[in-house]
Chains A and B, each alone.
Chain A
Amino acid sequence: MRQTTTLSAPSTPRLRALFTNLGPWFVYGIVFLLLMIFLVIPVLLVFFTAFVTETGAPTLGHFMNFFSQAIFKESFINSLIVAFASAVFASLIAIPLAYFTVRFEFRGAILIQTLGVLPLIMPPFVGAVAMQLIFGKNGSVNILLGDWFGINIPFMQGLWGVIFVESIHYFPFILLNLVASMRNIDGAMEESAQNLGAGGWSIFRRVVFPLAMPGFVAGAALVFVKVFDDLGTPLVLGVTNMLAPQAYLRITSIGVDDPLGYVISVIMVVFSVVALWMSALVLKGRDFSTLQKGGTSLQQRRLSFWQGIAAYGWIIVVLLIVLAPHIGILLMSFAKVWSFSVLPDAYTLAHYATVIQDSSKMISNTLLYCFTAAGIDILLGVAIAYLILRTELPGRQWLDHIASAALAIPGLVLAIGYLRMFKGMTLPFTETPIVTTWVLIMIAYAVRRLPYALRSCMAALQQLHESLEEVASSLGASRMTTIRRVVVPLMAGGILAGFVTSFITASVELSATLLLTSVESNAPMSYGIYLYMQSVAGRGPGAALGVIAILVVAIGTYASNVVADRYRITRKD
């Protein structure tokens, strides 16, 4: 919203009133236009195929064909089961982590919260290979289990395998949003409950968790939709009887232009929007906002010795499981040969030398694209959240629906749409075609990751009581001043959570990157990892680049957590 501050320095009161009324419309217009140009139109240019015959006449015939195939019904049900089960398991991992680190005086809470988001940075291919090396049928864990107990647990097989991997990959969505939500709860609420005689568990169940509901629902809905639309994991595990792989296999089959692939994508988009809309219904009509921002937040209690041991022990176990792939990637990056054994045969530093020599430009590219993309995302996220929750403009909910639909759109489809839409256009004042620039890569990241930032911003604003703004405005602050000095600062935690999720997940985006990269000097790290992982000799360097990607993103996340923490503390004083 900062952008409009420059506009809102009107000289006369009348002009000022006009701006107060026109301002939201103006922002609405800009957001709507951006969504149209960079999301709706490009995607429609591609999805168009699903609705026309070969002569271009409109038809719904392709949809009828879809519903006549049993495999699609089976796929739909499988996707639904996997998405639901993953959301449940992800909650089981995330809720205790969030609760312990926010509610108790915990050494290394920030560190744990940072480690807790690492699973989101699963570099393409490397992450999958590492998972197989650790949890696969012949991975370290199963080799050890076989040696010790003579058993083999199929962690990575079939639908359960998908659920396992998805849960440990995406639980940070819940963790991040829940932590942000819990930090926003007014400590007085808890004190009242304590005064009324409620104990620890009862306070959590009846006061803390219900008040943190917006964050939880935002996170859980994201996990559900993301898993429902996720392509990478089922493909890597060889599960094809789910919707996303069915669509992908049809869209990318060489030489066959099969509209059914696009039909499936359209159905997935519609379903995802419906799912998010239903999650919004859950929250509707209830009030989660608390008043005393900036006063006391939740009290941090001290753990007794044994409670501490139990809590730490449990957190360490969870972190070990969810970070196993990262440990695997780290080992791979130092391994000479690692094959059918618990640990690699021998170690070397050569892979890092290769990567640093070849690919340092890719690191700065990734940082540039992802920071810009995440920045755009939170600007748009705050704007949309504000328009929806604080104005009465007609059709404002559609901004949310449209932006969220991006979750379900395959990167390949968006990228093809961009190539089609900007075909033949050049950058102003130059001869350079737009499609050969990195701007499109960055915009594709921003569009694809906007739903994450948006959910976080919505949750943050939902927890903010309107009377705080009313107070500001009755004290004479304009709408812009209120937003700038009251709303945004109080939403900061949620905005940060949104920024971090967008930034992190953008850094490992591959499908759109692969199509939109037009010269190697513009390529980000995910492209480099892909490139290395295409060959036997490239596995080590690929893993090394993966480790660097994880480190870079983790440092970024840790830094923003520290900043947020300091910000909270100064606010208390």
Chain B
Amino acid sequence: MKQTLTRLSLATMVMAIAGLAHAGTVTVLTSFPKELTAAYKKAFETKHPTIKLEILNKNTAAALAYIKELPAGQRPDVMWVSDPSAFEVLTRDKLLAPAPEVKNPRTPAKIGNYPINDPEGLYYGQALAGYGLMWNTRYMQANKLPAPKEWADLVKPEYFGHVAISSPSRSGTTHLTVETILQGEGWNKGWGQLLQIMGNAAAVTERSFGVPDGVNNGQFGIGLVIDFFGLAGKYSGFPVEFVYPTMTAVVPANIGLIAGAKNAGEAKTFMAYTLSDEGQTLLFDPAISRLPVVPYGPGTSMKAPANYPNIQEVAKSAKVQFNSNLSEERRAIVVSMFDQMITFRLKEIQAATKAIHDAEKKLAGKNNPKAADLIRQAKAAAYAPILSEAEVRSADLLELFRKSRKDVDVSKRISALEEQWGSKSKESYAKAQALANQAAAAIR
């Protein structure tokens, strides 16, 4: 062991000398793909030859843990990820520093109804993204499925077992999609639609990239994804298509300065570059396929490639007036409801949905009021949210979910609620399945 230790300490010393970051290095913590970061690194270092850009790629959860565990002065400089909730966590833990001078004056204040920059001025929208539907054309052809246009299309029986989504507890952008549906359709109808879609789901993936990846390789037929996942797949030659439903929300992916950063001054130079017209134009690269926050297209100084989606138009025609305060306020509850009702009970909701589809197929074209009524009951049992909108508005509940789960009592009450939601959902799905089977049996 002594030898090993000597060898180790020698090796570490050599490494230490070689590994010293030279002054003028900006470290960017990001979850973005290599194509994007490489393009920015190259363009930025050409323009500012004295500054070196070090890209540190981690998934969002690891990135947050990394910043939290490092002392001030040793932290990376810039945080650059899609997930809006990551920035909320950083704000809450006072890990962001304001850098208002990096903003681009051409960036509008809002996209649709959503503020592009953080109202408190701690992080800034760097690219826009809308949620939509992506599908594999070969898969759809092989299974003789029509292309969907709206979320509502996905409740149809022909899509059973063909849809994929990631969990909102794993992906902040998925949470925004869920909220968009809930706000656009209203609480009860929204959950009803969501539960029916999820009854048709093949999988709830753990990573948000798992959905486009599965659609690209033909594992899933249709995925609920963020636009650049769909567009990048299409422009990279995969047999996939992407569409924005009218019920979409357009939200920014953000960039922010980390408090206690090693090199705040030059970090700001980089942030300003990503927000400048020049930096924004890089987003048009087909392998990146993201949407600038500054207006582009006809009538502006920035030219987009042909057939590029115009996000400002999408946002204008979107039906939802997205309320970000409401969304943030009830986030913990909605996310937990989704996991207890859907993610952890996927098998059961699939089984109930299958039974309902089968009964409806059998009923089609026949007059059987009893069976029709049973099917109605089955749907009511399976596709109702576990909490009413009034219950979610309750100040007590909101307060409870805002508290730290490290408090045993809080954790106990939340656990009890989650347990109740989970078992109640399981019961409802079993009940719905039984009712649908009864209905099917009643039809001759």
> A-side interface residues toward B, CB under 8 Å?
2-3, 6, 30, 49, 52-54, 59, 61-62, 64-66, 68-71, 129, 132-133, 136-139, 158, 235-236, 238, 240-241, 245, 249, 252-260, 336-341, 372, 375-376, 379, 412, 416, 419-420, 423-424, 427-433, 435-439, 514-515, 517-522, 527, 530-539
Contacts and interface: CB of A to CB of B under 8 A. Distances in A.
B239 A249 contact: no
A65 B407 CA distance: 11
Interface stretch (B64-72, B116-124, B191-199, B364-372): B64-72
B33 A535 contact: yes
Interface string B49-73: 0000011111111101110011100
Contacts of A412: 62, 65
Contacts of A534: 31-34, 57, 209
A416 B204 CA distance: 27
B406 interface: yes
Contacts of A533: 209, 213
A538 B34 contact: yes
B324 interface: no
A53 B412 contact: no
Given A238-B203, A515-B62, A532-B34, A339 B136 contact: yes
Contacts of B1: 3, 30, 379
A420 B69 contact: yes
Nearest to A528: B34
Contact of A53 (B54, B217, B406): B406
Nearest to B1: A3
**8 A-B pairs closest in CB distance:** A340-B218, A535-B33, A61-B408, A419-B69, A252-B61, A54-B406, A3-B1, A340-B138
Contact of B56 (A139, A341, A432, A519): A519
A59 B62 contact: no
Contacts of B61: 252-254
A257 B405 contact: yes
B217 A338 contact: yes
Interface string B192-222: 0000000000111110010011101111000
Contacts of B55: 520
Contacts of A139: 219
Contact of B170 (A30, A249, A536): A249
A497 B203 CA distance: 38
A61 B13 contact: no
Interface string B219-236: 100000000010011001
B4 A3 contact: yes
16 contacts: A49-B406, A62-B411, A70-B419, A137-B219, A238-B205, A249-B170, A253-B61, A337-B239, A339-B217, A340-B142, A416-B69, A419-B65, A430-B17, A514-B62, A520-B54, A532-B34
| Secondary structure type dominating chain B contacts | helix
Contacts of A54: 404, 406-407
Contacts of A530: 57
Given A339-B136, A515-B58, A531-B34, A241 B70 contact: no
A186 B172 CA distance: 61
A254 B60 contact: yes
A184 B436 CA distance: 62
Interface stretch (B82-90, B296-304, B378-386): B82-90
Contacts of B139: 138, 340
